Chains A and B, each alone.
Chain A
Amino acid sequence: MTKNNQSRGNIHNIISFTCIGFLLFILGEIIVRAFITFPVSSVPDRELGWLRKPNSVFFYTKEGRAINTFNSMGFNDDELSAVQSKNSILLVLGDSFTEALQVPKSKNFTSIVENKANCVDVFNGGRADLSPIQYHVVANRLSKVLSPNAIILTINYGDIDDINSNDAEIVRDPNNGNIQSIILQEKKLHWLRIKVDYISSKSALITFLGRRLKAIDLNLDRTDSLDTTAIISEGKERENYYKIQDILEYELDVIESIAPLYVLYIPALEYQPNGKSFSTIKSEEFELMIAETTSKKKIPFLSVKKHMQEIYQKTKKPPVGFSNNNILTGHLNEIGHQTVASALLELLDIKCIDRV
């Protein structure tokens, strides 16, 4: 009799704990969807690793809080094609700074430029985690649909580490050492990603847990890109300097062959009291490298450093950072996007009739 009671008790416990586990999963799912993120919105891609899931919705809460929808091509912009558009098309390439999921779509710099210059359609071709070494792939793909009149390449201070830590195959001319091609290889465990993404697409909680696990792995070998003491053009980093410059030159050549190219640089600033700010050493050096490279190729280049410094001087509010994360560093906030939009309009010197 006692044994029967005990086994009945055990079964009761198993059922209770299973129900509790299920209840907690549901609760976790609700909490994650309400406060953190939606289920994964990416699809695997051999060259780029992954792409945003077309026509999906993304809820971003790490910095700021915004919900954005991706178009049928998987980019954070409205639908656009060369066939549909009556205006000139500007294609803007970049990473998370350009994709700008931290702010509502209407407040990112590509939308602001489009609204202010009513004779151009600006297509936001940015995607988080893209390295400049991948931009030529995105440019090639999108140019087939958009036939852009011009391409704006947005580079930020973090890209130097992205270029440095790439695992692409670089093919060089044996005679002069120039880069002939950059072959983006399928990432290791790509097949696993496909399976994980499928499961994650059904659950926000699993998506979030997956990101956490991935972040633990990434944290182990990610270097700090805001190292203000690093001098990249001297000593043992000199080799890297030329390697990065080579890759940059290659990318500019490929993209320029598609459409006229403009380069925009977003620096890393350190903010001081009384409205003063200055570039970090590494950001300054990277900016000089880009300026030198674009000048050599006669590509229009603009750094938004002065614009960002001026807006901080005027408003005493940094153009980066968000109150729910860190107000001094991170991605462009709404003020930052307005600043970059003004700089871009200045770079492009678009003369359109103002919208009424």
Chain B
Amino acid sequence: MIFTSLDFLLFYIALMGLLCFFKQNSIRQFILLIASYLFYGWWNPTFVILIIALSIIAWYLGLLIDGTEKEKKKNLYLAISITLSLGVLAYYKYATFLVDNIIMLLGLKWDYHLGITLPVGISFFTFQTMSYVIDLKRRKITVCKNLAKFMLYVAFFPQLVAGPIVRASEFLPQLSHQIKITRFNIIIGLQIFLGGAIQKVLFADNLSLFVNPVFSQPELFSGKTLWLAVTAYSLQIFCDFSGYSLMAIGIAKTLGFELPENFRMPYISSSITEFWRRWHITLSFWLRDYLYISLGGNRKGAIRTYLNLIITMLLGGLWHGAGWNFVLWGGLHGIALAVHKLWMSATQRWDSLKNVWSYKVLSWTLTFLFVTLSWIPFRCDNFQKTRIFFSNLLPTSTGIDWINPYIVIIIMIMASWHIFYIIRSDYLSRFPNPKIQRPDNAFVLGFAVLMIVLFAPMDTSPFIYFQF
């Protein structure tokens, strides 16, 4: 069930009712666990077994890692855990892709398609279980001996299907304290949730009404239309994913839990490195800590550093989906990161130049342009469409002109919001602390709800990151 549905509202009300009724912490945690499985099982009950099994295995192997002093055994248990997690991920997510590619490479004329159903959120919860065992092995966290708590960490419903990817070190300590359902948390959580709902329902869903027809037939439209569509998609994917993350963070807050921030205005970035510190923060930090550093990070010389960056981003692209277009997207970002690193080391002496406003504007423009254009292979179904899209971006291309005025308005609103953020980030850092009891805040929130009711499209599109 999605956060903006009636089903979820009823589920949430029932859950809050139970949590308010039962005060004992262990019972509250148990209720949350059952509710999380119910939430996940709403989509497909069969896969609840999968998430339970993965949780139990990761927890048990964690106990084994903690229970032995021998490095070899620790490494063995770690290897088993990672192999199992990646194996499950590979099977559900990549087996069909692998088989299709083998058939194509061998030139076989088989009309065979594996057709394995992808469990929602598998990319997220497998990464969470892996981060637990790896951190345990690295002695960054202490073992969780309580199976129920561990299962709740993996299955906690606000972040289960589309993140943020939560580390055990961030979440498990919160389970040692009493789950507090307080008025303050509920108010702040609802404000954060509403902020996410506005991004998703008001902006992302409206942008999708324009983006989807254009991306499905890019050959039909003029260059102007395609530029507008790709800009709209950049904003759509940001609002969609950031909106979902905010809703997850908001719901968790109402339940007394803190989830990590996942987006920090990525489109104000003036470099690709900065972009990845602001975009899908939990994933990028996960890739940095568990993949990039494991590959050697920047400790093995410049060439190896660039290679590690590219490999990390290639795999990061593949994480998003079983498709060469995602690999291409990841590869582009990996190369861009490597190029930026090279540029930074080559221009170390030019720090004063980098403070000049024209340099900053140029850096921002290049970064935004690169990020926006790299969304094209990410969004297009296949390479053919990607090629058509890029070729039609040229000013010489002809086609149907479609400048949707509502899309232009949304882009202007988003641009203004970003500019305001840059200018007044100190002011904004004071949010979200205002209390809803103040009439002006109640008015602002009421106005936000009114805008959603008036301008949200009738058919809301599914969250983009659900497919990952």
Contacts and interface: CB of A to CB of B under 8 A. Distances in A.
A187 interface: no
Interface string A191-225: 00000000000000000110010011001000000
B446 A21 contact: yes
A241 interface: no
Contacts, number: 61
B453 A27 contact: no
A316 interface: yes
A327 B447 contact: no
Interface in B422-468: 437, 439, 442-443, 446-447, 450, 453-454, 458-459
B218 to A, nearest CB: 10
Given A23-B443, A219-B459, A323-B405, A318 B437 contact: no
A16 B458 CA distance: 32
A216 B458 contact: yes
B398 interface: yes
Contact of B458 (A13, A219, A316): A219
Contacts of A260: none
Nearest to B399: A273
Interface string A20-46: 110110011001100010000000000
A107 interface: no
Interface residues of B, number: 25
Interface string B395-406: 000111111111
B400 A212 contact: no
A271 B400 CA distance: 10
B291 interface: no
Contacts of B401: 317
A324 B406 contact: yes
Interface string B206-221: 0001000100010110
A78 to B, nearest CB: 30
Task: Sort chain A's interface into a size bin.
Answer: 20 to 34
Contacts of B447: 24, 27
B439 A328 contact: no
B393 to A, nearest CB: 15
A27 B449 CA distance: 12
A44 to B, nearest CB: 24
B450 A13 contact: no
A21 B446 CA distance: 8
Contact of B400 (A13, A27, A215, A327): A327
A305 to B, nearest CB: 19
A20 B442 contact: yes
Given A28-B450, A326-B213, A327-B400, A212 B458 contact: yes
B400 A317 contact: yes
Interface string A157-172: 0000000000000000
Contacts of A317: 400-401
B219 A273 contact: yes
Contacts of B400: 271, 316-318, 327-328
Nearest to B447: A24
Contact of A316 (B398, B406, B437, B446): B398
A102 to B, nearest CB: 15
Interface string B196-213: 000000000000010001
Contacts of B403: 323
List the 7 closest A-B pairs by CB distance, nearest first: A327-B402, A16-B439, A273-B219, A24-B446, A20-B443, A28-B450, A20-B442
12 contacts: A31-B450, A209-B453, A219-B458, A272-B220, A273-B219, A316-B400, A317-B400, A323-B403, A323-B405, A324-B404, A325-B209, A326-B209
Interface of B: 209, 213, 217, 219-220, 398-406, 437, 439, 442-443, 446-447, 450, 453-454, 458-459
Interface of A: 13, 16-17, 19-21, 23-24, 27-28, 31-32, 36, 208-209, 212, 215-216, 219, 271-273, 316-318, 323-328
Given A32-B454, A323-B404, 10 more contacts: A20-B442, A20-B446, A31-B454, A219-B458, A219-B459, A271-B220, A317-B401, A323-B403, A324-B406, A328-B217
